[in-house]
Amino acid sequence: MKDLCDCGEQRDYQDCCGALHRGESQADTAEQLMRSRYTAFARGHVDYLVMTQTLLPAKASREELEQDLAATKWLRLDVIKSQNISSNSATVEFCAYAVDLAGRQKKLIKHHEYSEFCQTDGRWLYEQGEIMADSGPVKWKRNQPCLCGSGRKAKHCCGA
């Protein structure tokens, strides 16, 4: 059975974002970097997340990032818009959906972000992101298919 990549490209993880995570290749575009970072969040690759950003935010230590990843199950990524601003600057707008596992009840979370990327020494890096106002908890809809793509109802899958 194939291990599909979490980035949404419908390719085997080893040949898609896995090659980036292992350092065998680099992202050719800001969108490819953003997709690989989403996959790193989904698979808990903290080192890759730290390596592919310009600065580690002061408020988010490595330990806090690891705790956040352990308490979150990422379900799906939707890229809304990817745009090159210049040869070394780009933006990507996306929505990512996750289940927050920290509380007693699982909560569906929508993360809508407008991200900025820069290219330094031939490598794309995440600079910063603006979290949009519609981010936050989302109510599971009755009989909604699960966002993970299993084809099952959310309440019998990731929402269970």
CATH of residue 105's domain is: 3.10.450.50
Question: Model confidence over 30-44: pLDDT tens digits?
Answer: 999 999 999 999 999
Q: Span 132-150, mean pLDDT?
A: 83
Residue 147, burial from CB neighbour count under 10 angstroms (0-12, 13-18, 19+) = buried
Structural domain contains residue 1: no
The domain of 32 spans 13-156
Structural domain contains residue 21: yes
Q: Which amino acid is at 151?
A: G
Structural domain contains residue 5: no
- pTM for this entry: 0.89
Whether pLDDT at 149 is above 80 = no
Beta carbons within 10 angstroms of residue 53's beta carbon: 17
Domain count, the chain: 1
